């Protein structure tokens, strides 16, 4: 394996890992806080038990997200020193603010975890809210830095030098809003359905049903609202990409030839050699409309761009299709969830719970697929149209060993965290609860 | 504004050494304890460090962010030539962080505790040792600048830069500092019966600090290390080290009299003086390469960047520091506030 490929795989792998834990650590505090609020209001013991068990989940996920995030802050430099040398000062602002937000989160977490029976009840609850808010803030700030890689701004690029740097402008780059919105909604959807699915499984197995139903409802409400809003944000993203990164859009759609009134491809197998997409469903003119709001608008195809600036088309296309497909399933599940509020009969059926068990991992699959679209779709550039990934990689040879090491370490970690969660739930189910 | 940035860089570094260092040291103290005392130490660490545990380790991220934003050239060199120890530190940080949480938050207490404890103690020694070695690498004069790496072999560029006797001695010295900080902190947290244990640990750690520090200076002097030469010839550095040594006296007195706050204060002050002495010795030439010394201020980011970073740091500081202070106070880390 070449050094560049190994470094890219390591970055992809560690990011993919971090994203899962960071999202759960960012969203779960909201579930915890809602349950905590209900405990304060109703003094129903079940909510206290639930809050305390979710808080353990938050602690475990937060720390795993935090250590993998610390690793990433080093890895940016360790793997891409040339990138950081130039980009570091430009995108320092979101990162330094993110450091502050993360810090606030850690402080609030200290208060929350250790504050039971020590702090004033209301203040204690508020520290829980601060965990959630600062978590989302750090998510937005980090995504803004990534947005800059897709929409580099806030500097003049003259003779290979980055001059007239304006960090605020770089921070508020054209991509930050659509990317951050899409990401935050994705995090809520994925975590809501994942946590809800775990509780659905317990209900399905008829364990501690009263508690798990309450937990399920809180988690999936967050997930379902986010899932229903996601298509709007997706549309904003698509229009933005069509404007700013037409080559990425063309790769997402595996669209080789420029045409007016371009059709939208659903599914299909991409042959990069012959530039064909077989077995697809084509919806006439839909791509033009979705990208530009005009059925006859011209969509640029890959052939209009130099070959050495094409991202890997097949991966980008499949990832995009996966994201949209899974997102659609989650929208349907969200509708079913809201309808079940009215039709209580549904929730008595095992099929209902089985559905949400199946949905549990899908949000995260969609979220990872979305990141593949963003990151692989930007290739071969690390800074779009400015710096190529191959020019940013570390000169240190043997990156492949570093990659293997991270794969082993993080795989073990993922297995252990899953095992720990299972132990938490087991113990929780054995705890007698009086309502 | 560059002074604001430098201030926050130094401030974060000091707090990382003090808070993170005490935290690493706790694991070292635990490792070198008898079986029964290990359990007591484990509980004490959780009670004392638990609430601020996460915050202790975020300082290193702040240091990294400041380095890459404001001092990109400097950051670039250490990221390339110290790739291996930095990766090892990351593994250490990861293992330590997760084992700390796992051992306290696992729903079932069983044999797996042994693994978490083992991992926690091992990584508590391994990580500060490598942090010290990395710093030793930065000042040992073995780093090869990126533009010259093609003239050298893999070993010279990526291994010799940090795996040498000088940086190993620095690593030992730094680990001893961590153990010293932690043992002194723990004295004030133990009941009377166990206070003795931590007093002894603190005394042993002090001896190791003094011994390893002396050996480091002697070794550096005999082998003509630029950093050590500058250090010895700098009146500020020498007087700071002298002052730090003198503070051992009030420290011992306060430990003996059971003044928890003052003994913590003196222990912290000592470490701050030692680190400050090292920083001053060479300022602003913080990176010593094979081809000469490199200033922290060389290849500094443009003014517009420094300005925004400075403002961000001030804003961040205003938000974080009162919160952090309140946290420390709420969980009685700062006992002085109670009286």
Give the pLDDT confidence of A136-150 residue by residue, as tens digits: 999 999 999 999 999
Residue B238's nearest CA partner among B205, B276, B181, B208 is B276
- The answer to whether B72 faces chain A, any CB pair under 8 Å, is yes
Strand (E) or helix (H) holding A161:
strand A161-163
All residues of chain B having their beta carbon less than 8 Å from the beta carbon of residue A10 are none
CA–CA gap between residue B64 and residue B82 (Å, rounded): 14
- Residue A432: what pLDDT? 66
- Percent of chain B residues past pLDDT 90, beyond the cut: 27
- The answer to whether A89 faces chain B, any CB pair under 8 Å, is yes
Helix axes A121-150, A3-42, angle to 10 degrees: 150
CB-based contact A114 B331, cutoff 8 Å? yes
All residues of chain B having their beta carbon less than 8 Å from the beta carbon of residue A402 are 87
Minimum distance, in Å, between the CA of residue A180 and any CA atom of chain B = 20
Count how many residues are written for chain A: 435
Residue B320's nearest CA partner among A140, A101, A134, A59 is A101
Residues 148-167 (B) with a CB less than 8 A from some CB of A = 149, 154, 158
Mean pLDDT is highest, among A184-188, A254-258, B101-105, for A184-188
Q: Indicate whether B334 pLDDT > 60.
A: no
Q: What's the average model confidence in pLDDT over B198-215?
A: 89
Cis amide prior to A154 (ω within 30 degrees):
no
CB-based contact A395 B158, cutoff 8 Å? no
Q: Read out DSSP for B136-149?
A: HHHHHT-B--GGGG
- Residue B337: what pLDDT? 31
Chains A, B: CB contacts within 8 A come to 200
CA–CA gap between residue A243 and residue A352 (Å, rounded): 42
Confidence band, pLDDT 50/70/90 cuts, at residue A435: very low
- The answer to whether A387 faces chain B, any CB pair under 8 Å, is no
- Residue A434: what pLDDT? 52
- The answer to whether A266 faces chain B, any CB pair under 8 Å, is no
CB-based contact A93 B327, cutoff 8 Å? no
Residues 307-346 (A) with a CB less than 8 A from some CB of B = none
Q: Buried b / exposed e across B67-76, counting CB within 10 Å, b at 16+?
A: bbbbbbbbbb
Q: Positive or negative, the Cα torsion across B305, B310, B313, B319?
A: negative
- Residue B331: what pLDDT? 62
CA–CA gap between residue A67 and residue B57 (Å, rounded): 9
Q: What's the average model confidence in pLDDT over A317-342?
A: 91
* pLDDT tens digits along B114-152: 899 999 999 999 999 999 999 999 988 888 888 888 888
Are A44 and A435 in contact, with CB atoms under 8 Å apart?
Answer: yes
- Residue B126: what pLDDT? 93
Strand (E) or helix (H) holding A130:
helix A121-150
Q: What's the average model confidence in pLDDT over B80-107?
A: 89
- Residue B211: what pLDDT? 92
- Residue A433: what pLDDT? 58
Minimum distance, in Å, between the CA of residue A313 and any CA atom of chain B = 32
Structure tokens at A97: 């603010």
From A74, A86, A97, residue closest to B86, measured CB to CB: A74
Residues paired with B295 in a beta bridge:
B285
Residues 416-435 (A) with a CB less than 8 A from some CB of B = 416, 420, 423-424, 426-428
* pLDDT tens digits along A43-57: 999 999 999 989 988
The overall average pLDDT reported for chain B is 86
* pLDDT tens digits along A104-163: 888 888 889 888 888 888 999 999 999 999 999 999 999 999 999 999 998 889 888 888
- Residue B332: what pLDDT? 58
Q: Indicate whether A288 pLDDT > 80.
A: yes
Q: Which one has a higher pLDDT value, A257 or A47?
A: A47
Minimum distance, in Å, between the CA of residue B106 and any CA atom of chain A = 6
Mean pLDDT is highest, among A260-269, A290-299, B119-128, B139-148, for B119-128
Residues paired with A264 in a beta bridge:
A283
All residues of chain A having their beta carbon less than 8 Å from the beta carbon of residue B90 are 70-71, 74-75
Structure tokens at B263: 């003994």
* pLDDT tens digits along A215-235: 999 999 999 999 999 999 999
Are A409 and B90 in contact, with CB atoms under 8 Å apart?
Answer: no
| ipTM computed for the complex | 0.84
Q: Indicate whether A256 pLDDT > 70.
A: yes
Q: Indicate whether B220 pLDDT > 50.
A: yes
Are B53 and B93 in contact, with CB atoms under 8 Å apart?
Answer: no
CB-based contact A70 B90, cutoff 8 Å? yes
CA–CA gap between residue A313 and residue A311 (Å, rounded): 6
Q: Where are the beta strands (DSSP E) in A5-75?
A: none
From B98, B154, B301, residue closest to A397, measured CB to CB: B154
From A74, A96, A397, residue closest to B312, measured CB to CB: A96
All residues of chain B having their beta carbon less than 8 Å from the beta carbon of residue A394 are 79-80, 83
Structure tokens at B210: 């003094």
- DSSP-derived 3-state class of residue B298: coil
Are A389 and A381 in contact, with CB atoms under 8 Å apart?
Answer: yes
All residues of chain B having their beta carbon less than 8 Å from the beta carbon of residue A95 are 65, 68-69
Q: What's the average model confidence in pLDDT over B224-250?
A: 90
Q: Which of B11, B46, B70, B83 to mutate to test the interface with A (most CBs of A within 10 A)?
A: B83
The overall average pLDDT reported for chain A is 89
SS3 content of chain A, % helix, strand, coil (to 5): 75, 5, 20
> Which residue is closest to A99 within chain B, CA to CA?
B62
Largest CA distance in chain A: 72
Q: Which of A52, A72, A89 to mutate to test the interface with B (most CBs of B within 10 A)?
A: A89
Strand (E) or helix (H) holding A265:
strand A264-271
Confidence band, pLDDT 50/70/90 cuts, at residue B336: very low
Burial of residue A401 (number of CB atoms within 10 Å: 0-12, 13-18, 19+)? exposed
CA–CA gap between residue B75 and residue B92 (Å, rounded): 21
* A192-to-A23, A27, A129, A189, A363 alpha-carbon distances in Å: 10, 8, 17, 5, 9
Q: What's the average model confidence in pLDDT over A325-331?
A: 93
CB-based contact B146 A395, cutoff 8 Å? yes
* pLDDT tens digits along A359-370: 999 999 999 999
CA–CA gap between residue A38 and residue A32 (Å, rounded): 10
Lowest mean pLDDT among A188-197, B54-63, B175-184, B243-252: B54-63
CA–CA gap between residue B256 and residue A60 (Å, rounded): 39
Q: What's the average model confidence in pLDDT over B25-51?
A: 83
Residues 123-152 (B) with a CB less than 8 A from some CB of A = 146, 149
CB-based contact B87 A95, cutoff 8 Å? no
């Amino acid at each position: 394996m070449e050094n560049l490929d190994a470094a890219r795989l390591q970055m992809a792998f560690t990011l993919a890992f971090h994203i899962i834990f960071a999202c759960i650590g960012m969203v779960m505090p909201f579930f915890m806080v809602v349950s905590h609020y209900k405990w304060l209001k109703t003094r129903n013991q079940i909510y206290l038990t639930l809050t305390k068990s979710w808080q353990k989940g938050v602690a475990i996920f937060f720390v795993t997200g935090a250590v993998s995030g610390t690793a990433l802050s080093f890895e940016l430099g360790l793997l891409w020193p040339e990138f950081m040398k130039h980009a570091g000062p430009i995108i320092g602002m979101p990162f330094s603010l993110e450091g502050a937000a993360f810090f606030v989160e850690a402080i609030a977490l200290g208060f929350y975890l250790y504050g039971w029976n020590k702090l004033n009840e209301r203040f204690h609850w508020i520290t829980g809210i601060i965990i959630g808010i600062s978590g989302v803030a750090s998510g937005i700030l980090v995504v803004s830095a990534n947005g800059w890689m897709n929409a580099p701004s806030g500097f003049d690029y003259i003779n290979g030098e980055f001059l007239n740097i304006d960090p605020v402008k770089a921070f508020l780059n054209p991509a930050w809003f659509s990317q951050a919105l899409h990401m935050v909604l994705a995090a809520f959807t994925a975590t809501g359905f994942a946590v809800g699915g775990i509780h659905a499984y317990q209900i399905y197995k008829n364990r501690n049903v009263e508690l798990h139903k309450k937990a399920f409802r809180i988690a999936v409400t967050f997930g379902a609202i986010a899932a229903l809003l996601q298509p709007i944000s997706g549309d904003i993203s698509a229009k933005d990409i069509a404007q700013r990164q037409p080559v990425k859009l063309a790769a997402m759609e595996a669209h080789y030839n420029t045409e007016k009134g371009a059709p939208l491809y659903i599914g299909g197998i991409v042959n990069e050699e012959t530039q064909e997409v077989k077995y697809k469903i084509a919806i006439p003119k839909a791509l033009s409309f979705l990208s530009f709001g005009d059925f006859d608008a011209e969509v640029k195809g890959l052939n209009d761009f130099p070959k050495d600036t094409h991202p890997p088309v097949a991966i980008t296309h499949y990832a995009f299709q996966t994201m949209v497909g899974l997102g659609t399933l989650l929208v349907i599940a969200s509708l079913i969830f809201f309808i079940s509020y009215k039709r209580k009969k549904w929730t008595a059926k095992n099929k209902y719970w089985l559905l949400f068990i199946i949905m549990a991992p899908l949000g995260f699959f969609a979220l990872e697929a979305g990141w593949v679209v963003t990151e692989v779709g930007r290739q071969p550039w690390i800074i779009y149209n400015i710096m190529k990934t191959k020019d940013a990689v570390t000169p240190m040879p043997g990156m492949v060993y570093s990659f293997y090491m991270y794969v082993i370490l993080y795989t073990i970690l993922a297995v252990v965290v899953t095992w720990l969660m299972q132990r938490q739930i087991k113990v929780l189910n054995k705890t007698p609860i009086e309502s | 504004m560059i002074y604001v940035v430098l201030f926050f860089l130094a401030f974060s570094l000091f707090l990382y050494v003090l808070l993170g260092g005490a935290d690493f040291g706790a694991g070292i103290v635990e490792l070198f304890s008898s079986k029964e005392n290990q359990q007591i130490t484990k509980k004490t660490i959780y009670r004392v460090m638990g609430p601020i545990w996460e915050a202790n380790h975020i300082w290193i991220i702040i240091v990294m962010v400041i380095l890459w934003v404001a001092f990109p050239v400097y950051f670039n060199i250490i990221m390339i030539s110290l790739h291996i120890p930095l990766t090892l530190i990351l593994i250490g940080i990861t293992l330590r962080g997760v084992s700390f949480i796992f051992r306290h938050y696992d729903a079932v207490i069983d044999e797996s505790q042994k693994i978490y404890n083992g991992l926690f103690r091992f990584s508590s020694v391994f990580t500060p040792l490598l942090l010290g070695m990395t710093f030793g690498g930065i000042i040992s004069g073995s780093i090869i600048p990126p533009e010259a790496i093609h003239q050298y072999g893999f070993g010279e560029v990526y291994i010799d830069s940090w795996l040498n006797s000088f940086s190993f001695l620095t690593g030992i010295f730094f680990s001893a500092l961590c153990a010293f900080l932690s043992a002194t902190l723990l004295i004030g947290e133990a009941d009377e019966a166990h206070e003795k244990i931590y007093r002894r640990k603190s005394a042993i750690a002090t001896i190791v600090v003094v011994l390893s520090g002396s050996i480091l200076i002697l070794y550096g002097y005999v082998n003509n290390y630029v950093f050590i030469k500058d250090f010895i010839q700098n009146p500020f550095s020498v007087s700071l080290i002298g002052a730090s040594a003198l503070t051992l006296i009030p420290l011992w007195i306060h430990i003996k009299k059971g003044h928890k706050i003052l003994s913590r204060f003196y222990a912290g002050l000592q470490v701050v003086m030692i680190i400050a002495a090292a920083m001053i010795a060479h300022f602003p030439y913080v990176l010593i390469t094979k081809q000469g010394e490199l200033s922290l201020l060389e290849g500094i980011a443009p003014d517009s960047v420094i300005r925004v970073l400075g403002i961000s740091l001030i804003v961040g500081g205003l938000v974080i520091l009162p919160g952090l202070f309140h946290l420390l106070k709420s969980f009685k880390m700062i006992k002085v506030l109670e009286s």
